[in-house]
């Protein structure tokens, strides 16, 4: 008996049409190169430009700045789902479109938008956001990168270092979270846009990771970088609040990727359990394995319903910090459990990187760490409960 998995959907025909074009793009422009990019530790710049030309980046940017002006996060999640389906963890499109560019769209002046948005939409410019430092990750208020305004030169002088920055090597436009007032607590944090080629801005190592090997994750160094005051994003001192306002979308984006990965793992595991024989039977016919797959399918369904609801709420402007924290920690912890069970079902082959399940395993490990760890999400939820 063949059976197909029915997935609760929030997509309409236009999203499914878009999905087809994303799928065609990935099969032609990403899948054939991914293995080489994993060896290189980064994707090519060309794939960014091709993604831009194919209309896959930053749909929400207004038409006057080169975007499609479509504010419907379902298009973003279609891209995330299709990338997960083929294990394309290299191109940092989601972090660019869902997380970083929205800061420029929402906080930028018209002049800043004219300068950066068209290139970010076309893929000519690649973005990064630099919050984490060697000494401060979860505790964002502990950052030490400083920017001192020099009225004589009409610029900020930026000093410090960042680490673990996604798109760190390829990026042309980096939103740097820095301290503009050492004595003002969270009100002393600002966002400065640092551009490729600015004197004193250097990249360090492209860090060697457990998974996501085709995505560049790098150290950045700022040594007396003169950043023009025109590159201040939002008001001075409002950086922390801006980050808090944008983090829910980042977390829903990560949750959407988690659910897409869970569904991919279910598909891979089910296919393998039907095909692989042991003791003269398909391994999926052993009751234990059937139960593992039944649990996986149930978890995938529940997670999908939850995240679908979050995506619709995000579209309606109804996602608060607490809901985003719930979606982020719960789906990513579930992803780790499901992918681990998928590896077990694959036996020794599950440990071989040539099998997509093994790549899903190494790629998944970071999900509960970046974008705010599981523990930090639970702190946020705990606070909302008044404890």
Ligand X SMILES: Cc1cc2nc3c(=O)[nH]c(=O)nc-3n(C[C@H](O)[C@H](O)[C@H](O)COP(=O)(O)OP(=O)(O)OC[C@H]3O[C@@H](n4cnc5c(N)ncnc54)[C@H](O)[C@@H]3O)c2cc1C
Q: Which residues are catalytic, by number?
A: 250
- Count the residues of the shown chain that bind ligand X, applying the rule CB under 6 A: 20
Which residue number is nearest to ligand X in terms of Cβ?
137
Asked if 43 interacts with ligand X (CB under 6 A), we say no
Backbone phi, psi, residue 96, to 5°: -70, -55
Nearer to ligand X, 55 or 248 (CB): 248
How far apart (Å, rounded) are the C-alpha atoms in residues 86 and 79? 11
Q: CA dist 173 to 124, 345, 347, Å? A: 11, 43, 44
SS3 282: strand
For residue 60, the minimal CB distance to ligand X (Å) is: 20
Q: Which is nearer to ligand X, 130 or 268 (CB)?
A: 130
Nearer Cβ to ligand X, position 39 or 288?
39
Q: Give the nearer residue to ligand X in terms of CB position, either 211 or 284.
A: 211
Token pair for 260? 């897409």
Q: Tally helices (H) and strands (E) across the chain.
A: 12, 10
Binding mask 129-168 for ligand X (x = CB under 6 A): xxxx----xx-------------------------xxx--
Whichever of 333 and 379 has its CB closer to ligand X, that residue is 379
Q: Which of 77, 105, 171, 217 is the binder for ligand X (CB under 6 A)? A: 217
Please state the closest distance from residue 17 (CB atom) to ligand X, in A: 31
Please report the beta strands in the chain, taking only residues with DSSP state E, as ranges in sequence order: 127-130, 146-150, 155-166, 173-179, 189-195, 201-206, 217-228, 232-233, 277-278, 281-282
Question: What is the smallest separation between the CB atom of 280 and ligand X, expressed in angstroms?
Answer: 44
| Alpha carbon separation from 138 to 133, 246, 317, 386 (Å, rounded) | 10, 16, 26, 21
State the nearest-atom distance from the C-beta of 332 to ligand X, in Å: 12
* Residue 376 lies near ligand X (rule: CB under 6 A): yes
Spatial contact of 67 and 116, defined as CB atoms under 8 Å apart: no
Q: Residues in the site for ligand X, rule: CB under 6 A?
A: 129-132, 137-138, 164-166, 209, 212, 217, 366, 369-370, 372-373, 375-376, 379
């Amino acid at each position: 008996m063949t059976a197909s998995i029915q997935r609760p959907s929030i997509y309409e025909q236009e999203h499914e049409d878009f999905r087809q074009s994303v799928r065609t793009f990935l099969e032609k422009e990403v899948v054939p190169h991914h293995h080489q990019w994993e060896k290189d530790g980064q994707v090519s710049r060309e794939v960014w430009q091709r993604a831009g030309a194919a209309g896959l980046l930053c749909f929400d940017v207004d038409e006057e700045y080169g975007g499609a002006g479509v504010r419907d996060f379902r298009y973003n999640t279609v891209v995330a789902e299709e990338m997960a389906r083929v294990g394309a963890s290299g191109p940092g499109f989601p972090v660019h479109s869902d997380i970083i560019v929205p800061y420029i769209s929402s906080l930028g002046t018209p002049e800043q938008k004219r300068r950066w948005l068209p290139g970010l939409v076309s893929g000519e410019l690649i973005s990064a956001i630099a919050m984490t430092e060697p000494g401060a990750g979860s505790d964002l208020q502990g950052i030490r990168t400083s920017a001192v305004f020099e009225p004589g030169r009409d610029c900020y002088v930026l000093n410090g270092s960042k680490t673990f920055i996604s798109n760190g090597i390829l990026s042309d436009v980096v939103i740097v979270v820095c301290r503009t007032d050492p004595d003002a607590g969270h009100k002393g944090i600002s966002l400065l846009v640092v551009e490729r080629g600015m004197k004193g801005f250097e990249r360090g190592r492209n860090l060697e990771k457990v998974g996501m090997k085709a995505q560049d994750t790098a150290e950045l160094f700022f040594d007396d970088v003169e950043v023009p005051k025109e590159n201040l994003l939002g008001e001075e001192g409002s950086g922390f609040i801006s980050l808090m306002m944008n983090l829910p979308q980042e977390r829903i984006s990560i949750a959407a990727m988690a659910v897409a990965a869970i569904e991919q793992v279910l598909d891979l595991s089910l296919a393998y359990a039907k095909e692989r024989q042991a003791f003269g039977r398909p391994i999926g016919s052993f009751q234990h394995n059937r139960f593992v797959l039944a649990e996986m399918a149930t978890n995938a369904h529940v997670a999908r319903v939850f995240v679908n609801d979050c995506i619709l709420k995000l579209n309606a402007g109804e996602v608060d910090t607490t809901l985003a924290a719930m979606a982020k920690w719960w789906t990513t912890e579930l992803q780790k459990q499901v992918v681990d069970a998928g590896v077990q079902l694959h036996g020794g082959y599950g440990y071989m990187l040539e099998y997509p399940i093994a790549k899903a395993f190494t790629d998944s490990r970071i999900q509960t760490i970046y974008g705010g760890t599981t523990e930090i999400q639970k702190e946020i939820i705990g606070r909302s409960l008044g404890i």
